[in-house]
Structure 1
């Protein structure tokens, strides 16, 4: 299990771009995520399926990392999520978001699934404790 390779990665991300996003959102990005996105900006993990931590074991897909550099869709476009204590970093094939949730722990955000279409009260589903945990649980 875990990521075997990243497909369709875009240009490399440098420290300046990381710092710029951290300032925009007001949160420090986890080190494991920073290392990954610096090499695999906008990339698609393979394999890409994971199960959420909730009781139902919902199967989901990690489609791609949100790009730091794409002019049409990039991570800076989601800055309004910082008001909710969230920082989106990835998407599923339907446009729902994988986010870091800083609400419980500002130094070690958990990874959650944010349902963009949900109209009820459950918008966020816990996935796992860290970005590395997410990558390690990916399967085909």
Structure 2
């Protein structure tokens, strides 16, 4: 198990860009995520299947880009803060329009990783995945 490579990676992101996004969202991203987004901005992980703590299966399609003018992290955050909570910050997507997010509601320093189902509302839309970004990456596997 665990991440092997990233494909379709966009331009790299520098520390200053990350700080601007953190200031906009009023959060500090986990260091493991910052290290990843600097190198693999907008990338698609291979393999990309993960299991939730409850045993269900999910797909980590791609990292939300910091730099794409059409689909970027600011746009997804604006969508999420209106329908979820401003302390839930999307960082990834599945292939079906759902979001993989950091949940800062319970800890400002160590956000939990959650899945947000865009077809549900309130707490029904949220499913815990794991405790850290690195744990999510370590869970990735292929069903081939």
- What's the CA shift for 1:78? 2.6
5+ residue gaps, structure 1, are none
User: Superposition RMSD on alpha carbons, in Å?
Assistant: 1.3
Residues 1:131 and 2:129 aligned together: no
Q: TM-score, normalised by structure 2?
A: 0.91
**Separation in 2, partners of 1:125, 1:6:** 25
Counting matched residue pairs gives 138
2:21: which partner in 1? 21
Residue of 99, 103, 106 corresponding to 1:104? 106
- Once superposed, which parts of structure 1, at least 4 consecutive aligned residues long, lie more than 6 Å away? none
**Separation in 2, partners of 1:77, 1:20:** 14
Q: What's the secondary structure of 1:108's corresponding residue?
A: coil
CA pair 42-136 structure 1, distance change in 2 beyond 3 A? same
5+ residue gaps, structure 2, are none
Q: TM-score, normalised by structure 1?
A: 0.94
- What's the CA shift for 1:79? 3.0
Residue of 83, 88, 91 corresponding to 1:89? 91
